[in-house]
Amino acid sequence: MRCPHCHKNGSRVVDSRPSEDGTFIRRRRECIHCGFRFTTFERYEETPLLVIKKGGTRQEFSRQKILNGIVRAAEKRPVSMERLTKVTDKIEKEVRSLGENEVSSQVIGKFVMQELKDIDEIAYIRFASVYRQFKDVDAFMNELESMMKNSDKK
């Protein structure tokens, strides 16, 4: 690490502390040449993740977009914001664990639907109606019937 005072390379770490939220480490350093003390921050670097949309366009992955969609689907339902945030965290973790630089929006949608199905059936149906773009009432009814059959098996 180059000293900001004398601009020579070489310093030693005097003290290290993690941040309150654990996203970075604060390091107090001392230059081995001039003795000047300075602070650095170390944080991990996430690789950029692109989402391939249905039309073939690409855009940067947005955790906030997933959360917004889930919140809209669960609007006026007995699901806490904390639970929706945890679901969003889980979905982001699953998407990033695929280890790909590009992921299709269909894959992300399937992750969201899996999670919503376990949380709230109405939120699931709301999300599915937008995600699957039901063409008519029959397609919508087929999804409802499928869901009802699965809930009867439980």
pLDDT category of residue 138 using cuts at 50, 70 and 90:
confident
pLDDT at 140: 67
pLDDT at 70: 94
39 and 74 together in one domain: no
Total number of domains in the chain: 2
95 and 38 together in one domain: no
120 and 68 together in one domain: yes
Q: Between the CA of residue 118 and those of 88, 137, 147, what are the distances in Å?
A: 14, 24, 11
pLDDT at 22: 77
What's the rounded Cα separation, in Å, for the pair 120 and 110? 15
103 and 32 together in one domain: no
Q: Decide: helix, strand or coil at residue 51.
A: strand
Q: Specify the range with the lowest mean pLDDT, choosing from 22-36, 49-63, 128-142.
A: 128-142
55 and 128 together in one domain: yes
pTM: 0.62
Mean pLDDT of 14-37: 91
- Evaluate whether residue 67 is within a structural domain: yes
- Evaluate whether residue 5 is within a structural domain: no
pLDDT category of residue 133 using cuts at 50, 70 and 90:
low
Greatest Cα pair distance, the chain, in angstroms, is 77
- Evaluate whether residue 3 is within a structural domain: no
pLDDT at 52: 95
71 and 147 together in one domain: yes
Residues spanned by the domain of 85: 50-153
